[in-house]
Amino acid sequence: MKISFNLLKKYIDLPDNLTPEQIAYDLTMRTVEVEDVINTADKFRNIVVGEIKEVRKHPNADALTICMVDCGLDEIKQIVCGGTNLYEGHKVCVSMPGANVVWHGEGEPVPIKETKLRGEKSFGMICAAAEVYLNDYYGDPDERKIVDFTEAGTICEVGQNVSELIGMDDTILEIDNKSLSNRPDLWGHYGIARELAAIYKLPFKEAPDDLPKGLPEYPVQIDAPDQCHRYSATKIENVYVKESPDWMKSLITNSGMRPINAIVDITNYVMLATGQPMHAFDSSHVEGNKIIVRSAEEGETLLLLDDMDLNLTKGDLVICDTVEPMGLAGIKGGKKDSVLSDTTDIILEVASFAATGIRKTTKRFNEKTDSSIRYEKGIDTQRVDLGVSLACTLFKEIYPECKITAFGEDYPYKTKKNKIDITQDFLDVRLGTSISTKDIEDILTRLGYLVDYNDGTYHCTAPTWRSTGDVTIKDDILGDIARLIGYEYFKAKPLPVNFEHAVNQSHYDFIRSVKEYLSFRCGFYEVFTYPWVEDRFIKAAKMDFENAVKLATPPSPETSYLRTSLIPGMLDIIDKNSHYFDKFSIFEVAQVFEKGEYKPSIKDESLPVHRNLLTGIIAGEEVKEIFFKVKGIIEALPVYCQCEPLEFYSETQPLWSDSKVWLNISSEGKRVGDIGLISLGTLNDSGIKNIKAAAFELDMDILKPYPSRTNKFKHLPQYPLVEQDLSIVVDETITWSQIRESLKYMVKELKFVEEYRGEQIPEGKKSVMLSLKIGNDDSTMTSKQIEKKMNGIIKILKNKCRAELR
């Protein structure tokens, strides 16, 4: 949001010794974050009013003219110009050396220098409106026509800076909108001025809030009082579409909007000044001379000002005449009833709409406006008076001939002032120091509170502009006191911490080592997902909702449960990434939740039962390849991450896995997880096509890192190892773990290569190819030793695994 100092000064007199930079700093430290301070006159530096004293033809160029111009300097200056509307006595806009202009209104600003044009000296440049940021004031479609202050009737003096002429001698504070989210009273200059008055202990110029009186009543009817708390309609006659005065154009421009015409500009000016949005309807288009605020009916349509055609539903609040909707309440007006070039009478809407309804409709139609942004924050109903009063004053000023002929309103709900009690002890403990009663009462009074102190308790009544959701609890008042004093004046006191014994961090080190292993050695990407997941992925993983924790206020109707496993969230990621990648590997370490109570410390507080799980996915096209990759990664994990050994067995099938390709994982006799190929049913139910995936899931709370470890050094082999490949045929029931276990004392290294089923392999059997390395510690193996060793290996495989050499 942009705050104009010129507009701010209408409500507060700031001392000359307060620089804009100091004000920006104090506002940042006390109220809202100021991101930048901009002097709007900077872009008009060395751009002044000049008067043409003489005009003559350029001797070397028919399209150029030589002008002798009085720029308010010691002597008349010669300027060569290509303008078509030059004449003696003509007051023009001159960019002198050192100024920056936008050449022909396009591109980046170009610095002006004294130069020669076709052999003739030219001191500066006589400019068209688009070249010096004056399009909104003196714009002309013909770019060769220069600014004509004389024809426009602008009162100006030779040598006067153009920024002063149009009110652009201003300073702008750019405020971060995020810091205003909980302060609806600050979405206008009036609220910022009131805040500065509190910070600097200065008088605040309260604006009048008188409503029109003694006028015929304009009919207004609110049929949805829960959505519209107040609606006023003021009929103003004898107005017409014309340009606003320069001072208003400049204030609107400096506040971040564009001037349109005087009627619309007045409504925007009032919103920028007070934070109260308003809208003008053409009175001649309001059927039945009555305004009705109601919920839309199914099937109704509304064509907005920007030609967007809306299909309305019952949840949308609309402003209607007796026939049809005229506008989307608090967001944007309809095109049919808008102010047009032939408008003479208007109905001025100033209203207070419920924040929740505006927010929902804005989101549904993706139609966010300056008005809706303010209504979404929650505006007190009393601000309507301020808006109506200022708007009527401005119409009388800009349209002296206009008449306010009718006024009416419906006012079903009045913003109530929040009342909160807060004790001196509460403040002393949390502020870390004692602030006197006098100072506390002074601070709160400056902020608009009514304060009654009695027996150690402050009975506080918040002002209406802070009672729409901003100030609701004691801590809000505490925050107001602390920020007005200045957070920088409170000395930080570290909390006392007593260490009774050392904390074992080995489990956290273990988790880090697992992440490093998967990322650096195995090529996985770590992902981070929300603790909730779409219900469809929970169903796809064949998990029930019986033990799942249901959220009281879910982020959406489709994500109503906390995850009991990381697999459903991984299915979502597979679905999204499968559109872009043929293969990928991902993992996540995160908490999962189940019904039940876990009491970490305080008796009265409890959390759902939760565990830390590690889940990894390898997605690709080759089923065997991805499954055995997963298996190999889990087999090697204890070696690289220094945890207790893991073993594979088959007992309980994971719900999400293929019925034939899965294994359970155990450590020290306890089940700690599973691996498996994700079933086709689970993939299909998740909308995943053209890709397969294998997964592993480990319970990190059960997995144990070694409590301590004595590292042993082992020499690399001094003598060459002999690598041999074996293909054996075994029963389908024989696992790789059994083969590996049977040979662990016979070989130096053992690797799985592949499995094969098909021709030449009997039914119920499978062919397993393995690669092994053998060797002696004290000599190079001879051919006889190799033969003897291999015969021994084959014999063990026959005895322990019922294997036959293929």
Q: What are phi and psi of 594, to 5 degrees?
A: -140, 165
274, 37, 34, 272: which is closest to 175 by C-alpha?
A: 34
Phi, psi of 263 (to 5 degrees): -65, -50
Instruction: Report residue 711's pLDDT band, with 50, 70 and 90 as the boundaries.
Output: low
What's the structural domain count of the chain?
6
Asked whether residue 188 falls in the same domain as residue 285, the answer is: no
- The tokens describing 565, both together, are 């496993």
Taking residues 17-40, report their average pLDDT.
Answer: 95
Retrieve residue 428's tokens.
Answer: 């002393």
Spell out the residues 6+ positions from residue 51 whose beta carbon is closer than 8 angstroms to its own.
Answer: 69, 70, 89, 90, 91, 92, 158
* Distance, CA of 120 to CA of 60 (rounded, Å): 9
State mean pLDDT over 209-230: 94
The answer to whether residue 711 is domain-embedded is no
Residue 624 to residues 9, 441, 633, 693, 764: CA-CA distances in angstroms? 75, 76, 14, 10, 18
How much is the pLDDT for 401?
96
Going by C-beta distance under 8 Å and a sequence separation of 6 or more, which residues neighbour residue 728?
767, 768, 770, 797, 801, 803, 804, 805, 806
Residues 322, 359: one domain?
yes
- In a domain, residue 705? The reply is no
Residue 602's pLDDT is 53
Spell out where 516-571 has E strands: 525-526, 532-533, 561-562
pLDDT (tens digit, 9 = 90+) per residue, 358-375?
999 999 999 899 999 999
Residues 765 and 785 in one domain: yes
Each residue of 454-469: pLDDT tens digit?
999 999 999 999 999 9
**226 and 192 fall within a common domain:** no
Q: Which residue, chain included where needed, has tokens 């080759």?
A: 622
739 close to 796: Cβ distance less than 8 angstroms: no
What does DSSP say about strands 692-699 and 607-620: parallel, antiparallel, or unpaired? antiparallel
Q: Could you write out the DSSP letters of every residue in 561-598?
A: EE-SSSHHHHHHHHHHHTTT-S-EEEEEEEEEEEEEEE
Averaged confidence pLDDT in the chain? 91
676 shares a domain with 631: yes
- Where does 241-287 have alpha helices with state H? 246-254, 262-274
- How far out from the chain centre does Cα 133 lie? 32
pLDDT at 642: 82
The confidence score (pLDDT) of residue 210 equals 84
Same domain, 365 and 228: yes
In a domain, 213, yes or no: no
How many whole angstroms separate alpha carbon 134 and alpha carbon 147?
8
Residue 120 pairs with which residues in a beta bridge? 117
**Do the Cβ atoms of 317 and 361 come closer than 8 Å?**
yes
Q: Residue 519: helix, strand or coil by DSSP?
A: helix
pLDDT of residue 154: 84
208 located within any domain: no
Predicted confidence (pLDDT) per residue in 97-124, tens digit? 999 999 877 888 999 999 999 999 999 9
CATH number of the domain within which 453 lies: 3.30.56.10
pLDDT at position 552 is: 87
Name which residue leads in pLDDT, 510 or 617: 617
- Residue 51's CATH number: 2.40.50.140
Report the distance separating Cα 240 and Cα 27, nearest Å: 40
Does pLDDT of 709 surpass 60?
no
Distances 497 to 94, 323, 599 between C-alpha atoms, Å: 70, 71, 22
pTM, two decimal places: 0.66
Q: Is the domain of 478 the same as that of 519?
A: no
Report the pLDDT value the prediction gives residue 91, as an integer from 0 to 100. 93
pLDDT digits (tens, 9 = 90+) for 584-617: 999 999 999 988 776 555 555 667 888 899 999 9
Beta bridge partners, 723, equal: 773
Q: Which of 410, 434, 469 is the last residue of a domain?
A: 410
User: What single-letter DSSP state applies at residue 465?
Assistant: G
pLDDT at position 107 is 85
CATH of the domain at 346: 3.50.40.10
Interval 528-545: pLDDT, tens: 999 999 999 999 999 988
- CATH number for the domain spanning 583: value is 3.30.930.10
pLDDT given at position 706: 67
Q: What six digits make up the tokens of 588? A: 């996540």
Clarify whether residues 229 and 366 are in a common domain. Answer: yes
64 and 141 together in one domain: yes
Write down the pLDDT at residue 254: 92
> Which of 494 and 660 is assigned the larger pLDDT?
660
What tens digit of pLDDT does each residue of 280-316 get?
Answer: 999 999 999 999 999 999 889 999 888 888 999 988 9
Task: Please say whether the beta carbons of 228 and 354 come within 8 A.
Answer: yes
Q: What is the pLDDT of residue 663?
A: 92
CA–CA gap between residue 352 and residue 430 (Å, rounded):
36
- Average pLDDT on 634-639 reads 89
CA distance 530 to 303: 39
pLDDT computed for residue 606 by the predictor = 67
Residue 287's pLDDT is 93
Do the domain assignments include residue 712? no
Residue 291 parent element (H or E):
strand 291-295
**Predicted local distance difference test score (pLDDT) of residue 599:** 58
CATH of the domain at 788: 3.30.70.380
For the ranges 227-241, 592-606, 665-679, 772-786, the maximum mean pLDDT occurs at: 227-241
Maximum distance among all Cα pairs of the chain, rounded to whole angstroms: 121
Torsion angle of C-alpha atoms 782, 785, 789, 790, degrees rounded to 10 = 60
Here the tokens at position 434 are: 């004692």
Residues 436, 342 share a domain: no
What is the model's pLDDT at position 745? 86
Q: With a cut of 70, say whether residue 502 has pLDDT above it.
A: no
Range(s) of the domain holding residue 196: 2-29+176-200
Q: Quick check: is 37 in a domain?
A: no
Q: 256-260, 408-412, 606-610, 747-751 — which is least confidently predicted?
A: 606-610
pLDDT beyond 70 at 710? no
Mean pLDDT across 135-143: 81
**518: its two tokens:** 């998967």
Q: pLDDT band for position 501 (50/70/90)?
A: low
Q: Do 322 and 246 reside in the same domain of the chain?
A: yes
Give the residue from 429, 458, 489 where a domain finishes.
Answer: 489
Say whether both 427 and 572 belong to one domain: no
Q: What is the pLDDT of residues 639-690, one digit of tens each?
A: 888 888 888 888 999 999 999 899 999 988 889 999 999 999 999 999 998 8
Of 724, 717, 719, the closest CA to residue 786 belongs to 724
365 part of a folded domain: yes
CA gap 65, 449 in Å, rounded: 66
Task: Give percent of the chain above pLDDT 70.
Answer: 97
Q: What is the per-residue pLDDT across 382-439, written as a single tens digit (0 to 9) for each?
A: 999 999 999 999 999 999 999 999 999 999 999 999 999 999 999 998 998 899 999 9
Instruction: Say if 714 falls within a structural domain.
Output: no
Whole-number Cα distances in Å, 19 to 32, 37, 38, 557, 611? 17, 11, 12, 51, 56
Q: Which of 345, 377, 410 is the last residue of a domain?
A: 410
**Residue 704's pLDDT band (cuts 50, 70, 90):** confident
